[in-house]
A and B are shown apart, each in its own frame.
Chain A
Amino acid sequence: MEQTEVMKPETLNDLIKVLHQIFSSDTVNVEEVQNLMESYESKPQEWMAYAQFDKFRYTRNLVDEGNGKFNLMILCWGEGHGSSIHDHTDSHCFMKLLQGQLKETLFEWPDHKINGGMTKKSERVLQENQCAYISDSIGLHQVENVSHTEPAVSLHLYSPQFDHCNTFDQRTGHRNTVKMTFWSKYGERTPFVSSY
């Protein structure tokens, strides 16, 4: 299969343009997207407007809606901030480090008779500019900024778009569906109004 020539995107806007082109077709070449995202060298002044931190927990900041084909967002992780173990609702998930480091721990899907907690598959620390990929067929993961001194910023692409996922209790495998919200969209703060 002939691979389209991938030009290294110099800017974030270049990256977004190429992503739009790639996702205009119906099939996704995971390696192509991963290599493309990895080849963009992070330049803070290009994404600073989206990097809005919350002191209590990590934030999700929407950058682009990919013509309905994907969501591109920037996640900001303060010191010690981490996510639950979660799945990706049958979508592709690409995660690229723009600043700092993030620890990714992979887990097996829990089965019914769980004893001694969910099974950890592997863990690694992603470095700046590195891009990871995960989908439900690979498993579940947990992402954490384990640094006590440095915040981290990551660029995420999800295709197709989704706004619910499941979180899992590591001790029991119990799952819970949660709604995902955005801290900001296109650089503008968008507070979530709870229905509770």
Chain B
Amino acid sequence: MDVYEGLEGEKVLNLSRLNLDNLDLDDVGEERKRDTQQLFLVYNRFIMLPGSICHFSNLVFLDISCNRLAFICEDILRLSKLKTLVAKNNRLDEFSLPKDFGTMSLEVLNFSGNRFEEFPSEFLNLQRLQSLSLGGNRLKSIPAEIEQLTSGSKVLVYHGFRPECATKLYMQITVQLALQFSLMCNVILRHFSLIIQTQTDFTKLKHAALHILELLYLGGNSITSIPPELANLPYLSYLVLCDNRIQSIPPQLAQMNSLRSLSLHNNLLTYLPREILSLFQLQELSLRGNPLVVRFVKDMTYDPPSLLELAGRTVKSRNLPYKPEDLPGNLVRYLDLASKCPNPKCGGVYFDSCVRHIKFVDFCGKYRLPLMHYLCSPECSSPCSSNPQSDADSEDESSVPAHRMQKVLLG
């Protein structure tokens, strides 16, 4: 809800439902223009955001929903105090925004019910954005850059940071390096201390754009997959992905400890990743309208592993020591991608060759959710699947205590 509470009288100017197609402010006094903090222009006939709007120099809230807006002019950039912009039900798309839109201090942005086919890159620069709604558009994907470092940050130096951050950051950096830097980079990992040397200067790491985003509403689009980078938004608590065409959830979403509410209804999910059980803050989860597997189906397709995979498995499971200088960079990266087999009795790892195994887990004591396990071979099995053909199986080595998930509404 974008209801802005508490302002009265001169601070609110309501010009809704007046058939306006231009904003002639001759009748509005100078003082009123200065004092107005909230402006409503809802249900009019604007095709462009009127330039005269910049006369409201102290504007904090603007609602120009239900017009015919196809274009937002540069004049909006002069509203330096604008925090909330609502432009629902217009005709905006990714070409409608002024070039420097990303420099605005917006905290709440609602562009639902428009014609966006791609996630506008200008949004990725909005450093103060807490709430973003793009429901009911025509988005086909969410960009991986949603968590990308803003341009300008080149090199990262860390010393002695906490071990649990090390692996995640190391992975992030190796991926970044693969994309951005040449093989001249050396990566040295020493006792959780990470030093990267490049030919460029050392500069401070800037916060990622959308770093403080708490609400992301993307329901009612045509999104087919979720980039794992979404999980790197550290404050995201409300994620809406309902009414899309999503077939699977990346397991990285389980790292989102801030996630309180996840809306996935009306998609194309047949199972969920088992890691979803670790979302201990999650209180609402909607899954209705997905073709979730009801009866256990053991997936017997198994491509035999390649020589590369077998070699990689041997290196990892026997802990053979190696230094990155010993190997070409691509092999180092390959070895880093090893996944541990979730069967705790198995010390094995796998790379690409694995067996999917749908395991039903009694989720919050209400339902049997099909959760996906990846096992390193058909012979491997999770500890409690003594009767894999039955969906009465409800034990899981990491089952969530019922009280934690009591309020989950699997509607």
Q: Is the CB of A176 within 8 A of B366?
A: yes
Docked complex Cα distance between A151 and B113 (Å): 13
Q: Is the CB of A56 within 8 A of B283?
A: yes
CB distance from A86 to the nearest CB of B (A): 9
Within 8 A of B (CB), among A154-196: 167, 169-172, 174, 176, 194, 196
- Which of B146-154, B160-168, B237-245, B309-317 lies at the interface with chain A? B237-245
Is A124 in the interface zone, CB < 8 Å from B?
no
Q: Is the CB of B406 within 8 A of A196?
A: yes
A contact residues around B365 at 8 Å (CB): 176
Binary interface profile of A, 69-106, with partner B (CB < 8 Å = 1, else 0)? 00000000011101111000000000000000000000
Docked complex Cα distance between A117 and B290 (Å): 12
Q: Is the CB of A148 within 8 A of B112?
A: yes
Is A142 in the interface zone, CB < 8 Å from B?
yes
Q: Is the CB of A148 within 8 A of B238?
A: no
CB distance from A107 to the nearest CB of B (A): 12
Docked complex Cα distance between A80 and B1 (Å): 12
Docked complex Cα distance between A170 and B294 (Å): 11
The residue that B265 contacts in the complex, of A82, A117, A169, with Cβ under 8 A, is: A82
Is A45 in the interface zone, CB < 8 Å from B?
no
Within 8 A of A (CB), among B257-284: 260-261, 263, 265, 283-284
CB distance from B243 to the nearest CB of A (A): 7
Q: Is the CB of A57 within 8 A of B284?
A: yes
Q: How extensive is the interface on chain B, given as a class?
A: 35 or more
The residue that B219 contacts in the complex, of A53, A80, A169, A194, with Cβ under 8 A, is: A80
CB distance from A28 to the nearest CB of B (A): 28
Q: How extensive is the interface on chain A, given as a class?
A: 20 to 34
Docked complex Cα distance between A170 and B368 (Å): 12
Docked complex Cα distance between A85 and B287 (Å): 12
Q: Is the CB of A174 within 8 A of B367?
A: yes
B contact residues around A67 at 8 Å (CB): none
Binary interface profile of A, 35-56, with partner B (CB < 8 Å = 1, else 0)? 0000000000000000001011
Contact A56-B261, Cβ < 8 Å, known A167-B411, A172-B368:
yes
Q: Is the CB of A169 within 8 A of B409?
A: no
Contact A80-B135, Cβ < 8 Å, known A148-B113, A149-B89:
yes
Is B43 in the interface zone, CB < 8 Å from A?
no
Docked complex Cα distance between A117 and B294 (Å): 9
Q: Is the interface of B mostly helix, strand, loop or mixed?
A: loop
A contact residues around B133 at 8 Å (CB): 79
Q: Is the CB of A149 within 8 A of B112?
A: yes
Q: Is the CB of B112 within 8 A of A151?
A: no
Q: Which A residue's beta carbon lies closest to that of B65? A: A149
B contact residues around A82 at 8 Å (CB): 265, 286, 288, 411
Q: Is the CB of B88 within 8 A of A149?
A: yes
B contact residues around A85 at 8 Å (CB): 411
B contact residues around A57 at 8 Å (CB): 261, 284, 409
Binary interface profile of B, 205-245, with partner A (CB < 8 Å = 1, else 0)? 00000000001010110000000000000000010101100
Docked complex Cα distance between A176 and B292 (Å): 19
Contact A169-B284, Cβ < 8 Å, known A53-B1, A79-B217, A151-B1:
no
Docked complex Cα distance between A84 and B407 (Å): 12
Q: Is the CB of A172 within 8 A of B367?
A: yes
Docked complex Cα distance between A83 and B215 (Å): 20
Q: Is the CB of A80 within 8 A of B240?
A: yes
A contact residues around B3 at 8 Å (CB): 53
Is B102 in the interface zone, CB < 8 Å from A?
no
Which of B3, B136, B284, B411: most chain A CB closer than 10 A?
Answer: B411
Q: Which A residue's beta carbon lies closest to that of B237? A: A56
19 extra interchain contacts, Cβ-Cβ under 8 A, other than A80-B217, A194-B407? Answer: A57-B284, A79-B133, A79-B219, A80-B135, A80-B219, A80-B243, A80-B263, A82-B265, A83-B411, A142-B411, A146-B243, A147-B136, A148-B135, A148-B136, A148-B220, A167-B411, A170-B288, A171-B292, A171-B367
Closest 7 CB pairs between A and B?
A148-B135, A84-B411, A148-B136, A148-B220, A149-B113, A56-B261, A196-B403
> Could you name 20 residue pairs across A and B whose Cβ atoms are closer than 8 Å?
A53-B3, A55-B215, A56-B238, A79-B240, A80-B217, A80-B220, A80-B243, A82-B288, A83-B409, A84-B409, A84-B411, A117-B294, A142-B288, A149-B136, A167-B411, A169-B366, A170-B288, A174-B367, A196-B403, A196-B406
